Amino acid sequence: MKIRVDLDLCQGHSVCIDEAPEVFSVEDQVDDYPKVKVLNFQPSAELQNQVRLAARYCPNKVITLIEDNE
Ligand code: SF4
């Protein structure tokens, strides 16, 4: 699995951190919403279900996942 994020869409809701705190962080910005920071772009198998939940529940649909079989 690989992770892509569209930072233009991110508004710092932090749902992603609630679901997968080992994979996502959120950083404050000077003149904008806080933005997600991906800590691990290729999460291990144990973390992938958390990452899928983060992508599903992100209110702005910022997170795109490329599964290994795609
Ligand atoms: S990726 Fe989604 S849930 Fe995470 S901070 Fe950005 S908008 Fe919020």
Q: Is the CB of 14 under 6 A from ligand 1?
A: yes
Domain of residue 28 covers 2-66
> Number of structural domains, the chain?
1
Phi, psi angle pair for 35, to nearest 5°: -125, 145
**Bridge partner list, 36:** 26
Q: Is the CB of 13 under 6 A from ligand 1?
A: yes
Q: Please tell me the predicted confidence (pLDDT) of residue 69.
A: 79
Q: How far apart are CA 69 and CA 23, in angstroms?
A: 21
Domain containing residue 61: CATH number: 3.30.70.20
Distance 18 CA to ligand 1 centre (A): 10
Q: Is the CB of 12 under 6 A from ligand 1?
A: yes
Q: Is the CB of 26 under 6 A from ligand 1?
A: yes
Q: Please tell me the predicted confidence (pLDDT) of residue 17.
A: 98
Tokens of 40: 């691990």
Distances (CA, A) of 10 to 29, 36, 44, 45, 70: 12, 7, 24, 25, 25
Q: What is the pLDDT along the chain (70 residues), one digit of tens a residue?
A: 999 999 999 999 999 999 999 999 999 999 999 999 999 999 999 999 999 999 999 999 999 999 987 7
